[in-house]
Structure 1
Amino acid sequence: MEIDKRASEWMRSCASPHDPVVRQRLLRSGSSYLVSNCSPCGKIERLEVGGKWMYLGFAYDDWFESRTSLDEIIAAACGLQRAQDAPEADLTDVPFLPEFLYIMRELRRFATPTQYRRFTNERRGYFQALPWEASYRFAGRVPDLNTSVTLRLGLSGAASFVAALEIYNGDEIPSEEFDRPALQAVREISTLLLGWVNDFYSLPKDAHDGGGTNNLITCIQRERRSSLEEAAAEAVTIWNRSMLLLLKLSDQLADRGTLQLQQFLGDCGRAIRNAIAWHAENPRYATHALSVTTEPPVGLDPSPLNIPSISWWWQQLE
């Protein structure tokens, strides 16, 4: 509770965002709980910074979704990328810059050089995905399912959330483990499951705010020319089969992994469970979502999903 109290107090002290409606919705969300409940071995001081980062991350999501100029989105994304790579750089015209620089400097202070590089590499994917998503949104188009999945890997911001877990714990995963394709698959599955939880809960909000062109359910509905109910059922199946694979790969890696890797794998599972609970209780979404858990039902098809951009995940099973 103390972590969340300090993170929300910090957000209240910030000058941005200026819109009082957006600001109040952000503060009511309790975004910092996404961090504080997923890393039981995390250092308190680091988790507090992570909680602040979650508030700011949602502020950025709202800001980018409210833009109507692709040029503005590209300029902001490039500026933020430069700010994370060089937090001491003198930049202007970047949204929420003082808050962003504070978070980056704190994370770089805590992280090893390797951990910070891993984090910023994932965040770079988010900045690259923003104009790509906006191009669909401005044109009123919905990407095909395979493109949507690739885009969602970057756009959700969950990839950097997953990468930050080892920073909170203070233990660096050895490169020979971190760089293995099987762990890359685990990180990608965790990223998409976290992003899809948000899709399941935010479909009404996306429609209200003008987003939703990259929501998993919307993409399935458009591609299959199906009803919303049929698309939702397929989305749950995709979730369950991905979750099943995550459990299998996590067990496979943990069997002979270092303690750092085992802690990271456990935190990924906790992060997903926590995200489900957080969305269910969050007034930011305030809607009944699809029923998903981290315990897939029995009898699932164990074969790869027919989504080319992620079917390689199943090849990592031994």
Structure 2
Amino acid sequence: MPDLIVPPTYAPIPSAIHPRHAAIDAQTAIWAEEFAIGSTELRGRLVQQDIGTFAARILPEGREEVVSLLADFVLWLFGVDDGWCEESALGHRPGELSGDLHRLLRVAQNPEAPLLLGDPLAEGLRDLRRRIDRYGTAGQAARWVDTLREYFFSVVWEASHRADGSVPTLGDYTLMRLYDGATTVVLPMLEMGHGYELHPSERDHTAVRAATEMASFIITWDNDIFSHHKESRGPGYYLNAIRVLEHEYALSQDQALTAAIAQRDRVMRRFLRLREELDAQASPQLRQYLVSLGHFIRGSQDWGITSLRYTTPDDPANLPSVFSDTATDYGDDPLDIPAISWWWELPSIGGIPHGSSLPTAVPTAAALRTA
């Protein structure tokens, strides 16, 4: 398969990183060994992929203990995604996978339940849940479990396509990618990292939900672009936006890459405009949340072109070393994808109700610094 050359992608959001990123990354490697996440071979790969640094880019001014929690959780997610879904026979058996994931979900809901005792992923999940209870609210813990359910549901859907060797439509793939990229599971930790809880009247406001979904789209499309080399070189089935676009529109790989970049650029521009509109009338907590969405987007970009997970030095990927200040697409029409076209058709934002929220905590990190 010919190599794709990924050009510098549009990155209008400044880069930032937590000053304790090296210590957080080292602690995550220790946590992975303590709970024996994944096989020895998989764990050896994961601890070299700068996952702690990724979390430090998502929460550059967050509380260090929550950044560490996020890093451990992301590594745990890769233990599930790589170890169960992509690199084992279980990932080709959606029914069996669903049962195993529901048992894990029960552990997340009720860590005291006598299920999967001694199982490394379950014991790691119990530790994560205890720390979520320590640093978050009951509502944030409940939302974390709900988003974990969304993620599990979506990877079972992906397993059904893996079992059949089929490629979904662009519409279906886009909808499920909002969840199987595990971006929504991170969202409660954006609040925890700064010691506040958004009121439902803000978090569930249609425009705020649209901005959140746009961030998920950009992050997952970027991931598909940066991970295509790694995934397409694998021995088995892979599912990726570039492959879906090839299939949907009978495109070459290069044409599909160009189309994917244009799609994410159009959504990025829509996200920036909407975030500016929301910021003008947002509470301090919502402003912080919108800033954190931006860090999540840019942190994913920075990590995507530097982590050994995607650069694959033994078989180097043609990834950019810099980003671009210029978008490739300046269209303002909705993307022709029914599940997300409503992002361009929002009613007037009007006043966003400000419910009572937990006060923003003083971050333990030093002032944000550029990477």
2:338 paired residue among 308, 311, 315: 308
Q: In 2, Cα distance between the equivalents of 1:102 and 1:298?
A: 44
1:184 paired residue among 209, 214, 224: 209
CA contact (8 A) 1:108 1:116 kept: yes
The 5 Å alignment of 1:79-228 reads 79-92=103-116, 96-207=121-232, 208-213=234-239, 215-228=240-253
Cα gap change, 1:156 to 1:199, in 2 (>3 Å): same
The amino acid across from 1:33 in the alignment is: T
- Determine if the alignment matches structure 1 residue 233 to structure 2 residue 253: no
| TM-score, normalised by the number of residues in structure 1 | 0.93
Q: In structure 1, list runs of 5 or more residues that go unmatched.
A: none
CA contact (8 A) 1:12 1:27 kept: no
Q: In 1, Cα distance between the equivalents of 2:245 and 2:263?
A: 11
Alpha-carbon deviation of 1:203?
A: 1.4
Q: In 1, Cα distance between the equivalents of 2:198 and 2:124?
A: 28
Alpha-carbon deviation of 1:299?
A: 6.4
* Structure number with higher helix proportion: 1
- Determine if the alignment matches structure 1 residue 65 to structure 2 residue 86: yes
| TM-score, normalised by the number of residues in structure 2 | 0.80
3-state SS of paired residue (2:51):
coil
3-state SS of paired residue (2:278):
helix
Deviating more after overlay: 171-180 vs 88-97:
88-97
CA contact (8 A) 1:65 1:209 kept: no
Alpha-carbon deviation of 1:295?
A: 5.1
The amino acid across from 1:84 in the alignment is: A
The number of residue pairs the alignment matches comes to 316
Structure 1 runs, 4 residues or longer, greater than 3 Å off: 289-296
1:43 paired residue among 46, 59, 63: 63
Q: In 2, Cα distance between the equivalents of 1:25 and 1:307?
A: 36
Q: In 1, Cα distance between the equivalents of 2:204 and 2:330?
A: 29
The amino acid across from 1:99 in the alignment is: G
Q: In 1, Cα distance between the equivalents of 2:57 and 2:175?
A: 28
Alpha-carbon deviation of 1:256?
A: 0.7
Q: How big is each residue's C-alpha offset from its partner over 1:52-89, in whole Å with a ceiling of 9 and x where there is no partner?
A: 11111111110221232223311121112212121221
Q: In 2, Cα distance between the equivalents of 1:209 and 1:163?
A: 35
3-state SS of paired residue (2:193):
helix
Q: What root-mean-square deviation, in Å, do the aligned CA atoms of Structure 1 and Structure 2 show?
A: 2.0
Q: In structure 2, list runs of 5 or more residues that go unmatched.
A: 1-21, 312-316, 349-371
Q: In 1, Cα distance between the equivalents of 2:56 and 2:300?
A: 11
Q: Percent identity?
A: 28
Alpha-carbon deviation of 1:13?
A: 2.4
Q: In 1, Cα distance between the equivalents of 2:227 and 2:325?
A: 22
3-state SS of paired residue (2:334):
coil
The amino acid across from 2:236 in the alignment is: G
Alpha-carbon deviation of 1:205?
A: 2.1
Deviating more after overlay: 240-249 vs 163-172:
163-172
Q: In 2, Cα distance between the equivalents of 1:300 and 1:198?
A: 22
- Determine if the alignment matches structure 1 residue 16 to structure 2 residue 40: no
Alpha-carbon deviation of 1:244?
A: 0.7
The amino acid across from 2:34 in the alignment is: S
The amino acid across from 2:241 in the alignment is: L
Alpha-carbon deviation of 1:98?
A: 0.6
CA contact (8 A) 2:36 2:120 kept: no
Ranked by relative contact order (alpha carbons within 8 Å, sequence separation 6 or more), the top structure is 2
CA contact (8 A) 2:62 2:194 kept: yes
Q: In 2, Cα distance between the equivalents of 1:60 and 1:152?
A: 16
The amino acid across from 1:15 in the alignment is: A
- Determine if the alignment matches structure 1 residue 275 to structure 2 residue 300: yes
